[in-house]
Amino acid sequence: ICKDGWNSGTLYTMEETSREAVATAVQRVAGMLQRSDQLDKVEQYRRREARKKASVEARLKAAIQSQLDGVRTGLTQLHSALLDVKDIQSSLADVSKDWRQSINTIENLKDVKDAVVQHSQLAAAVENLKNIFSVPEIVAETRQLIEQAELLQAHRKLMELECSRDDLMYEQYRMDSKNTSDMNLISIYFEDVQGLSDELAKQLWMVLQRSMVTVRRDPTMLVSVVRIIEREEKIDRRMVDRKKQTAFIPPGRPKRWKDKMFEVLEGTVSTRIEGTQAVTRETDKMWLVRLLEITRKYVLDDLIVVKNLMVQCFPPHYNTFNRFFILYHNAVSSRVKELAAEDLEANEIVSLLTWVLNTYKSVEMMGHPELCSECDIHQLEPLLPKDVVDDLLSKYVKTFTSNITGWLRKALETDKKDWQKETEPEADQDGYYQTTLPAIVFQMFEQNLQVAAQIDGDFKEQVLKLCLKQMTSFLVRYREEAVAYKEEHLKNRQLPQCYVQYMIAIINNCQTFKESINSLKRKYSQSSEPTDSDAAIERTLNEVAKEGCQFLLDEVFLDLESHLNELLTRKWLTGSHAVDTICVTVEDYFNDFNKIKKPFNQEMTSEALRRVVVEYIKAVMLKRMTFKNADERKEGAERMIKEADQFKFLFKKLAGEDTDRLCGAIAAIAEVFKLTDPTLLFLEVTTLVSKYPDIREEHIQALLSVRGDASREMRQMIIGTLSENKLSYTSATQPVFKDIAVLHCLKLYRK
């Protein structure tokens, strides 16, 4: 520590700061005087820096002066506070001195105090003397007034009796609080008063229990009851306040009739709600719907009566309408909780939840125009807790899942029976075959989604997802049944008689299912995002349709099998009509296949063309014959080109699309056979490979073998050269030779 009190570290920091300031200044000056022409401005720079320095010093002086003024003000206030504390201390000493001097004076006034108490007791006795002697008479009059329903007058008499009793007991308590015998004597003398109070209370509660009827017939009666209860409340408050001062309270006080009134009204509302059930499930299947409708009507009617009539019978601070509104809400809530705890069926769960979640707060009930101006229905607690609602929804979903599984199974069984009919299936307005299965399935879905939509938007989405999930499982079974239908048909192709037509209907149903699913999603789903179920359904429907088309083509090619076996045989070369028959048969089948919806009919036509061409090329690869000379090769090649044109014409008529590539494969092979100069064979094969890069070495071996004039060396040379310059084909290129089995070609190569 330095002599002046500064810490050595602080001094070091200040020195460091000073050095940094000097270094910064040097740097700034160096920056200003980098060029010789800037030396002329040295005086200008100096004046500017002097002004800046003066400004900073002025601000520092102002800040220090402000701090000094604040300290001076604080010291002045502390000095003033010290003087005030000394004055208060002196005043308290004076008060303490005066209090000690007055104690003796207060003790000298005890006799006066006793005299005042005795005078007060005697005055109360004189004042109540007349009432004391007339108590039996007043009791009889009061009882008669109660029986005659003159409640206000009866209460006035009752108050006189209670006032006399209470004053006497109070004076006795003040004179000698431990004298219980005199206190009991007064209680016995006025014992009928408590009975009258109970009888009057009973009449009040009876009026309140019938308040909905009373307010319509005689609202003055209800007003009288409220006035009596208000009087008793004031007396209760006065007696409780006196008890705080004297520790005395009359018997039976506080009566708390106001609290009892609200208890009676609450019980009345609960009884009215509980009394709405007139039928049970055993006598009426719609018992719950009727019960909820009766409850709705009673609650609405009663609250309108409260708003228009009963509010006027109660003081404004009672907030009567809101109080009754809450009473009815709580009563209804208790009732629906009881209903929710019962073993409800699925349709009853829907009815209850629809009523609770929608009808209750709608304009048909608590949101009625006559009521909504008096209260905010959005502030009401839910009628059913969320866990109860979730349990009911879970129970409904479980039941619905079980039911819809059974419905779908039954619908599929019914549709399967139709597949065995001897009559064609019905056609839609566009002439496409169909069955009733999609309509039945989606009618079930539609009905359940309409019901779910009545309950809640989120629940509607949940049911839609459940329907789509069930649809996924159903379509798997649908696919299995379609496969079984085909296999059963193959055992006896004569049965069922309308196999082709119903298989077409199965394919068309897939498109109908897609359209119906999209329609349901647009109508009942707020989300446009695809789900896992969507992908599974789309995939399964495409598989069912694709397999159905494949089954129909299998049917076609079973009929074509014998004619396909004639291709590239000696019989074919000498003038067979196999291709003519193939074209006629395919066209005949496709007259029925026109009843298949798009896009499946287009895909099926394309697949039929592909299979015909592949079967034709297979006939070449099977080496059913080998050309013996150039004339046979020419004749066979021309026949192949002609038949390729026949296929091209037929399928262009059926599909209306370009068929050149597939049919061109037959013509390209024919060109290999047609070539007369063997030395040019390599070029022709190269052309074929360039057009159809999916062709393999085995295929070329087979073609050269069928041609009949290519030596082993030539074949090896062609294959070797092509292997060195092998072309690749992309997936976008439609393959032709890819699906032709290699096994047959290997056999040819070995031979």
183-204 pLDDT, tens digit each? 777 777 777 888 888 898 899 9
CB neighbour class for 115 (10 Å; exposed up to 12, middle 13-18, buried from 19) = exposed
CA distances from 378 to 107, 125, 296, 730 (A): 66, 60, 18, 65
State whether 348 and 410 are in the same domain.
no
pLDDT bracket for residue 556 (50, 70, 90):
very high
Do 645 and 654 touch, CB atoms closer than 8 A?
no
- Residue 745, pLDDT > 50, answer no
**Do 253 and 287 belong to one domain?**
no
Name the nearest CA neighbour of 691 among 675, 668, 671, 663.
668
**DSSP conformation class of 678:** G
Query: Residues 6 or more apart from 663 whose CB is under 8 A from it?
Result: 609, 613, 644, 645, 647, 648, 651
pLDDT at 729 over 70: no
- Which band of pLDDT confidence, cut at 50, 70 and 90, is reported for residue 749? very low
Range of lowest pLDDT (10-14, 168-172, 394-398): 10-14
Please say whether the beta carbons of 427 and 433 come within 8 A: yes
Cα 558 → chain centroid: 54
Please tell me the distance from the alpha carbon of residue 266 to that of residue 271, in angstroms, as a whole number. Answer: 9
**704: pLDDT strictly greater than 80:** yes
Provide the domain limits for residue 679.
Answer: 567-724
Contact 707, 673 (CB under 8 A): yes
Confidence band for 12, pLDDT divided at 50, 70 and 90? low
Residue 3: is its pLDDT beyond 80? Answer: no
Q: What is the DSSP string of 174-204?
A: HH-TT-HHHHHHHHHHTHHHHHHHHHHHHHH
| pTM across the whole model | 0.65
Of 315-319, 526-530, 543-547, 682-686, where does the model show the most confidence? 543-547
Lowest mean pLDDT among 125-134, 257-266, 367-376, 719-728: 125-134
pLDDT > 70 fraction of the chain, expressed in percent and rounded: 91
Which percentage of the chain shows pLDDT scores above 90?
A: 33
Q: Is the pLDDT of residue 552 over 90?
A: yes
CATH of residue 635? 1.10.357.70
CA distance linking residue 682 with residue 695, whole number of Å: 15
Span 156-172, mean pLDDT?
80
Kindly report, residue by residue over 200-216, the tens digit of the pLDDT. 889 999 999 898 888 88
The sign of the torsion formed by the CA atoms of 242, 248, 250, 254 equals positive
Of 664, 573, 589, the residue nearest 624 (C-alpha)? 573
Cβ contacts of 284-290, under 8 Å, gap ≥ 24: 288/339, 288/344, 288/348, 288/351, 288/352, 289/351
Higher pLDDT, 248 or 235: 235
pLDDT digits (tens, 9 = 90+) for 563-574: 999 999 999 999
Cβ–Cβ < 8 Å for 596, 545: no
> HEC string of 93-133?
HHHHHHHHHHHHHHHHCHHHHHHHHHHHHHHHHHHCHHHHH
Which two tokens mark 254? 């506080």
Contact call for residues 479 and 543 (beta carbons, < 8 A): yes
pLDDT in tens, 356-365: 988 888 888 8
User: Quick one: pLDDT at residue 751?
Assistant: 36
Residue 422 contacts residue 497 (beta carbons within 8 Å): yes
Split into its structural domains, the chain has a count of: 4
629 DSSP assignment: S
The token duo for 663 is 């049919």
CA 190 to CA 183: how far, in whole Å? 11
402 and 374 co-located in one domain = no
Q: Which of 521, 549, 577 is the endpoint of a domain?
A: 549
At residue 539 the predicted structure's pLDDT band, cuts being 50, 70 and 90, is very high
Is the CB of residue 204 less than 8 Å from the CB of residue 228? yes
Residue 8 included in any domain: no
Q: Are residues 238 and 107 in the same domain?
A: yes
Q: Which residue has the higher pLDDT, 247 or 515?
A: 515
Q: 609 vs 166, which has greater pLDDT? A: 609
Cα 533 versus chain centre, distance: 18
Same domain as 718, residue 628: yes
**Where residue 482 sits, what CATH number does that domain have?**
1.10.357.50
What local confidence, expressed as pLDDT, does residue 746 receive? 40
Structure confidence at residue 562 (pLDDT): 93
DSSP codes joined into one string, 636-655: HHHHHHHHHHHHHHHHHHHH
Final residue in a domain of this structure, among 384, 399, 421 = 384
Question: Is the residue at 480 inside a domain?
Answer: yes
What contacts 214, CB < 8 A, 6 or more positions away? 207, 221, 222
Question: Which pLDDT score, from 0 to 100, does residue 40 have?
Answer: 72
Tell me the pLDDT band of 611, cut-offs 50, 70 and 90. Answer: very high
Q: Both 339 and 436 in a single domain?
A: no
* pLDDT at res. 584: 95
d(CA 699, CA 617): 10
Residues 371 and 397 reside in one and the same domain: no
Confidence category of residue 750, pLDDT binned at 50, 70, 90:
very low
Residue 556 domain-assigned (yes or no) = no
Residue 209, H or E segment = helix 191-209
Q: What is the pLDDT of residue 712?
A: 82
| pLDDT for residue 516 | 93
CA dihedral over 72, 74, 79, 83, signed as positive or negative: positive
Q: What is the mean pLDDT of residues 142-148?
A: 85
User: Taking the alpha carbons of 688, 689, 694, 697 in that order, is the dihedral positive or negative?
Assistant: positive
Query: Other CB atoms closer than 10 Å to residue 241's CB: what's the count?
Result: 10
Grade residue 515 by pLDDT with cuts at 50, 70 and 90.
very high
Is the pLDDT at 6 greater than 50, yes or no?
Answer: no
Residue 703, in any domain of the structure:
yes
Domain end (from 353, 384, 415) = 384
Residue with tokens 């056609």: 427
Is residue 407 domain-shared with residue 322, that is, in the same domain? no
Q: Is residue 268 part of a domain?
A: no
Asked if residue 420 has pLDDT above 90, the reply is yes
- At 49, is the pLDDT very low, low, confident or very high (cuts 50, 70, 90)? confident
- 481 confidence band (pLDDT: 50, 70, 90): very high
In angstroms, the CA 70 to CA 72 distance is: 5
* 8 Å CB contact between 578 and 564: yes
273 and 295 Cβ atoms separated by less than 8 Å? yes
Residue 518 is assigned to a structural domain of this protein:
yes
> For the residues 485-496, what does the mean pLDDT come to?
92
Same domain, 246 and 293: no
120 domain-assigned: yes
435-454 pLDDT per residue, tens: 999 999 999 999 888 888 88
Backbone CA torsion sign across 661, 665, 671, 672: positive
Are 362 and 396 in a shared domain? no
Read off the pLDDT of each residue in 161-181 and give the average, rounded to a whole number. 74
pLDDT tier for residue 246 given thresholds of 50, 70 and 90? confident
pLDDT at 48 (0 to 100): 82
Residue 84 lies in a domain: yes
Co-location of 475 and 429 in the same domain: yes
Answer positive or negative: Cα dihedral of 288, 293, 296, 299.
negative
Q: Are residues 377 and 477 in the same domain?
A: no
Mean per-residue pLDDT, 603-615: 92
Which tokens in the block code for residue 507?
A: 């394919």
Mean pLDDT of the chain: 85
Assess whether pLDDT exceeds 80 at residue 155: yes
Give the highest mean pLDDT range of 114-128, 513-527, 734-748. 513-527
CB 547 within 8 A of CB 483: yes
Predicted local distance difference test score (pLDDT) of residue 162? 82
